[in-house]
């Protein structure tokens, strides 16, 4: 296993795939290999694609990937779908729309379940980005489920966040929760072939105008018909323009620093959680404490303090 990191850096598909699994399972092998990969990562351009369910994100990503391939750049794709909170299983179906690119050896696609507890992104996503980066992929595209915390988490990982919406969502702007307006570096109105297109373009434009501060970069709105490859090269131009914009100032470096910060905090959080909850001893202990809380012999705060005292001693 010692050469796993080495094989990843040589771009070997099998090694990349296996290390991603180790990272998803938080195995010690991953921790060792990730440590060795770090110095070779940081070169890739990371693009986040998020938006409402069924907006055409996967279809669009396949087209974006092909556009980058035409420019001679290699691509990694991380497609994230929600893990069922009931069974812990997941149905990962984004590849259905990426069939046209599955035979290109310079495109590596990985599907992931969120696995996380609160519907946010798992810490493993940071690792997978870093693995694909160290493996030499020039562009890494991350697709996230368009609900809840995951779509906000994406900005910590991506250099450029693209928010995809579609016509005909009823009161479309209302459907955009407060957070999502703020995370977009670029808006895409996909399915521009559908009725209601003019309306959502107008609504979005006025939203963007209202929130635009003088001196700030305006958020472009790009119409696309992903199914017909329309608007995709314009979108890629906007993505690259945003990347160039970031690099003009210290914004890019600052952004990367914040990504490492988020990753570091995530690792510590995860290790702490494992320390507290994974060991069977603690599971037993928690059961006993629950009994005592139920019997009113103690209260949740005192019980929590008891656990923390043992963990931190």
Partner 1 sequence: MEGKIRVLVAKPGLDGHDRGAKVVARALRDAGMEVIYTGLHQTAEMIVNTALQEDVDVVGLSLLSGAHMTLFRDVTKILKERDMIDVLVVGGGIIPEEDVPGLKEAGVNGVFGPGTPLEDIVTFIKENVKR
Tokens of residue 231, six digits: 């608007």
Around Cβ 104, how many Cβ atoms within 10 Å?
A: 14
Sole window of 29-37, 67-75, 86-94, 145-153 interacting with Mg ion (rule: CB under 5 A): 86-94
Strand partners, 223: 189
Site for Mg ion contains 83 (CB under 5 A): no
C-alpha distances in Å from residue 9, one per residue of 23, 29, 39, 226: 16, 16, 11, 33
Which of 18, 57, 156, 242 touches ligand GTP (CB under 6 A)?
57
CB closer to ligand GTP, 120 vs 146: 146
Phi, psi of 112 (to 5 degrees): -135, 145
CB of 98 to Mg ion, least distance (A): 9
The Cα 63–Cα 47 span in angstroms is 14
Q: Mask: binding to partner 1, 112-141, rule CB under 8 A, as x and -? A: -x-x--------------------------
In the bound state, the residue with its beta carbon closest to ligand GTP is 56
User: Does residue 271 touch partner 1 according to CB under 8 A?
Assistant: no
d(CA 169, CA 37) in angstroms, rounded, equals: 43
Residues 237 to 296 in contact with ligand GTP, rule: CB under 6 A: none
Among 4, 9, 20, 34, binds partner 1 (CB under 8 A): 20
List phi, psi (to 5°) of 44.
-70, 150
Instruction: Give the residue with the Cβ less far from ligand GTP, 140 or 166.
Output: 166
Least distance CB 67 / ligand GTP (angstroms) = 15
266 makes contact, choosing from ligand GTP, partner 1, Mg ion, none, with CB < 5 to 8 Å by partner type, with: none
Instruction: Give the per-residue contact string, 65-84, with partner 1 (x = CB under 8 A; - = no).
Output: ------------------xx
Nearer to ligand GTP, 137 or 191 (CB): 191
| Cβ-contact 228, 190 below 8 angstroms | no
Q: Is 143 helix (H, G, I), strand (E, B) or coil?
A: strand
Strands 107-113 and 186-189 turn out to be unpaired
The answer to the question of residue 94 lying near Mg ion (CB under 5 A) is: yes
- Each residue 87-116 as x (binds ligand GTP by CB under 6 A) or -, in order, gives -------x--x-------------------
Stretch that binds partner 1, among 36-44, 85-93, 154-162, 187-195 (CB under 8 A): 85-93
Annotate 213-262 with DSSP letters as a single string.
PTTSPP--EEE-BGGGTBTHHHHHHHHHHHHHHHHHSTHHHHHHHHHHHH
Please answer whether residues 173 and 161 qualify as being in contact, where contact means their C-beta atoms are separated by less than 8 angstroms. Answer: no
């Amino acid at each position: 296993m010692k050469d796993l990191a080495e094989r990843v850096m040589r771009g070997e598909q099998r090694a990349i795939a296996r290390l991603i699994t180790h990272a998803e399972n938080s195995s010690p092998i991953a921790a060792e290999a990730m440590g060795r990969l770090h110095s070779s990562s940081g070169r890739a351009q990371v693009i986040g694609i998020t938006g409402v369910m069924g907006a055409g994100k996967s279809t669009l990503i396949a087209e974006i990937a092909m556009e980058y391939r035409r420019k001679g750049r290699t691509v990694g794709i991380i497609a994230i779908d929600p893990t069922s909170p009931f069974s812990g299983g997941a149905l990962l179906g984004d590849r259905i729309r990426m069939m046209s690119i599955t035979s290109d050896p310079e495109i590596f696609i990985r599907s992931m379940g969120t696995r996380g507890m609160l519907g946010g992104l798992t810490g493993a996503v940071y690792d997978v980005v870093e693995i694909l980066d160290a493996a030499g992929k020039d562009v890494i595209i991350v697709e996230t489920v368009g609900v809840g915390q995951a779509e906000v988490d994406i900005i910590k990982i991506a250099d450029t966040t693209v928010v995809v919406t579609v016509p005909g969502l009823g009161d479309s702007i209302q459907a955009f929760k407060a957070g999502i307006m703020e995370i977009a570096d670029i808006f895409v109105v996909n399915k521009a072939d559908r009725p209601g297109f003019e309306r959502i373009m107008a609504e979005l434009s006025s939203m963007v105008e209202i929130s635009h501060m003088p001196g700030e970069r305006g958020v472009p709105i790009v119409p696309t018909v992903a199914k017909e490859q329309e608007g995709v090269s314009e979108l890629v131009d906007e993505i690259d323009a945003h990347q160039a914009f970031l690099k003009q100032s210290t914004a890019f470096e600052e952004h990367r620093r914040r990504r490492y910060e988020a990753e570091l905090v995530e690792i510590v959080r995860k290790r702490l959680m494992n320390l507290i909850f994974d060991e069977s001893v603690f599971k037993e202990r928690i059961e006993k404490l629950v009994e005592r809380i139920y019997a009113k012999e103690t209260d949740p705060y005192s019980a929590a303090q008891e656990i923390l005292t043992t963990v931190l001693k």
